[in-house]
Amino acid sequence: MRTKSQRRSKRRGARTEQLQLPLDDADIRHNKKVLGVYRDKNAHHAIVYRIGKIKISFVEMKTGRLVTRSLPDIKFFNLRQFERIEYPVERAVESFLKHGGGVSEAARRAMLSMLKA
C-alpha cells in the first residue's frame, strides 16, 4: 500500500516539455508584453491572446474560418518558428475581424479581450 506522500508525488515537478525550454523563453508566461502579433517561418501571422502553463493559445490568419488554436510552447517556437513582430495589436485585430472566411465566436472574443488588456 502506498502512503499519501507517494500518491501525491506523481505530479510534482515540471513536465518534460517545460524543462526543455531555452532560458529566454522560460520567462514568457510572466511577461504580458509577449502577448501580441507573431509571424512564423512561412510568413503566417497569428495573434497570441493567452499563455498557459504548457500551451500558447492563438488565432492564426489562414484560409477559411479563423478559429482559436493551442500549441505547446516548444512546438510554437521551435517547430513552427513563430517570432514576435512589432505590429500594432489593434490594427492586427481589426484586420483579422474583417477576414473574408469569417471568424468563430471564440476567436472574436479572444481577440477583443486582447484589446481590453
71-104, pLDDT tens digit by residue? 998 899 899 999 999 999 999 999 999 999 999 9
Domain residue extents for the chain:
14-116
pTM of the model: 0.71
Question: What is the predicted pLDDT for the residue at 53?
Answer: 83
Question: What is the predicted pLDDT for the residue at 52?
Answer: 85
Question: What is the predicted pLDDT for the residue at 56?
Answer: 92
Residue 36 φ then ψ, to 5° = 155, -150
Q: Choose between 57 and 20: higher pLDDT.
A: 57
Torsion region of 14: left, alpha or beta (phi above 0 gives left; psi -120 to 50 gives alpha) = beta
Residue 109's pLDDT band, with cuts at 50, 70 and 90, is: very high
pLDDT digits (tens, 9 = 90+) for 1-50: 556 555 555 555 444 444 444 445 445 555 555 788 999 999 999 999 99
The beta-carbon contacts of 51-60 under 8 Å, at least 24 apart in sequence, are 53/18, 53/29, 54/15, 54/17, 54/18, 57/110, 59/96, 59/107, 59/110, 59/111
Nearest by Cα to 60 from 86, 31, 15, 95: 95
Amino acid type, 30: H
pLDDT beyond 80 at 112: yes
